[in-house]
Amino acid sequence: MPLKAVILIGGPQKGTRFRPLSFEVPKPLFPVAGVPMVQHHIEACAKVPGMKEILLMGFYQPNEALSRFLVSAQQEFKVPIRYLQEYAALGTGGGIYHFRDQILSGGAEAFFVLNADVCSEFPLQEMLEFRQQHGDMHSFVILGTTVQHYVEKPSTFVSEIINCGIYLFTPAIFQHIGEVFQRNQQELALCPYLGEESSNGWQRAEVIRLEQDVFTALAGSGKLYVYKTDGFWSQIKSAGSAIYASRLYLNQYSKSHPERLAQNKPGGPVIRGNVYIHPTASIDSTAVLGPNVSIGEGVTVGAGVRVRESIVLHGASLHDHTCVLNTIVGWDSTIGRWARVEGTPSDPNPNDPYAKIDSETLFRDGRLTPSITILGCSVTIPAEVVILNSIVLPHKELSRSYKNQIIL
């Protein structure tokens, strides 16, 4: 069966909770477990038999980083990959409707739609088999997962299944999206006379949200199925969730990519748990790394350094005896000798196998929510200071310790 995949990567107005990291690279290219976030999606799609093309869709301006990534991904996964730029933010349904001719070209009989800001095992082949077993040729499948939550005295049914943002459609979906588009046009034509805003909250008929505008209408039609996965899944909305997502992918590497996991070797650093180290990184043999550590290209780690539950990005330097815990160290940043940089983990309940990380707000009760520490690119931390639960914007040279602050 000819298949395609569409990966929705958003745009620069999105990903604000990912700042300051999204200042330097588009959020979908941020490294999670050693590779760009969206590469995990592409790899999963490329493994599905019959995959003819993968389309990245968003409203980022084409840039060198994105173009370079697309070229290397095509070479690695041996499947055509293109970027389709929306002229504006059109929503999860509006974008695929706008480019429906591109999606259907080549005779694709079905196509996946994946949100770029989720991490998952991506059971795409299982979704195909599920549809063949349960649906007809014009049915659609949503990937769902279980959550546990408490609702006191619910007056209506409360489902334990949530939408994972991964879908399997046939071309018939465009008829349903087209109906929403026509309804939006009619509403917008009437709005000036009624003095009202359109139901989708936008002044464009093309802005269509799959989850609110399309799925709700399809829910009672018998054409929409949920495939419930027991595999891992989480959103990647904030920088803190990137560390959790990195842990999930590093755990998966033991099966899917054991070659990416560092091993304890004579003369090498001490590795505890799952750790990714880029081949170009220079790690002192007395350093202790892990669990859940990702070391990027060209990183230098000095003697006696301890790193745990952290992502260290391209070109960073950790001087002797630094301690880095629950932190993202930005590109080309430097941490001085005996400094301690630490954040507060925002992990979900470890006793709940279906626990999902919450999207924490930056502030609570007027104060910065304790979270992981983030150093933007080219940040310099001096020797013998403590940086705790703080966010440091790019190109800052600190001179003292900080706690629970955003350093502008």
Architecture category of domain 261-406 in CATH: 3 Solenoid (2.160)
Give the rounded percent of residues in the chain with a pLDDT score beyond 70.
86
For 316, phi then psi, to 5°, come to -75, 155
pLDDT of residue 197: 46
Average pLDDT over residues 166-171: 91
Q: What is the pLDDT, as a whole number, of residue 196? A: 42
Residue 21 has what pLDDT?
80
* 327 has pLDDT over 70: yes
Percent of the chain with pLDDT over 90: 55
Q: What is the DSSP letter of 292?
A: S
Answer for the pair 115, 93: CB distance below 8 angstroms, yes or no: no
- Residue 71 class from Cβ within 10 Å (0-12 exposed, 13-18 middle, 19+ buried)? exposed
Which helix (H) or strand (E) segment is 227 a member of? strand 224-228
Taking phi first (over 0 means left), then psi (-120 to 50 degrees means alpha), and beta for anything else, what does residue 120 get? beta
First to last CA, the chain: 53
pLDDT at residue 176 is higher than 70: yes
Of 271, 192, 260, 221, nearest in space to 40 by CA: 260
Contact 99, 208 (CB under 8 A): no
Task: Give the start-end residues of each E strand in 59-127.
Answer: 81-85, 110-115, 118-120
Q: What is the pLDDT of residues 45-58, one digit of tens each?
A: 999 999 999 999 99
The C-alpha atoms of residue 150 and residue 157 are separated, in whole angstroms, by 13
Residue 266 has pLDDT above 60, yes or no: yes
pLDDT digits (tens, 9 = 90+) for 275-289: 999 999 999 999 999
The neighbour count for residue 364, using CB atoms within 10 Å, is: 10
CATH number of 3-235: 3.90.550.10
pLDDT at residue 151 tops 60: no
Q: What is the pLDDT of residue 68?
A: 93
Tokens 């003819």, residue?
52
Question: Which H/E stretch holds residue 40?
Answer: helix 37-46
Residue 153 has pLDDT above 60, yes or no: no
In the predicted structure, residue 156 carries a pLDDT above the cut 60:
no
What band does 198 get if pLDDT is binned at 50, 70 and 90? very low
**Higher pLDDT pick, 326 / 62:** 326
CA 208 – CA 202 distance, rounded (Å): 9
Q: What is the pLDDT of residue 140?
A: 87
Cα Rg of the chain (Å, integer): 23
Whether 387 and 398 have beta carbons less than 8 Å apart is answered as: yes
Q: pLDDT class for 195, splitting at 50, 70, 90?
A: very low
Q: How confident is the model at residue 77 (pLDDT cuts 50, 70, 90)?
A: very high
Q: What is the pTM of this model?
A: 0.89
Structure confidence at residue 106 as a pLDDT band (50, 70, 90) = confident
Find where tokens 């059971």 sit.
Answer: 123
pLDDT the model gives residue 35: 95
| pLDDT for 135 | 66
pLDDT at residue 403 in the model: 93
Cβ atoms of 346 and 244 closer than 8 Å? yes
Which of 336, 272, 278 has its CA nearest to residue 307? 272
* Confidence at residue 351, expressed as pLDDT on a 0 to 100 scale: 52
List the domain boundaries for the chain.
3-235, 261-406
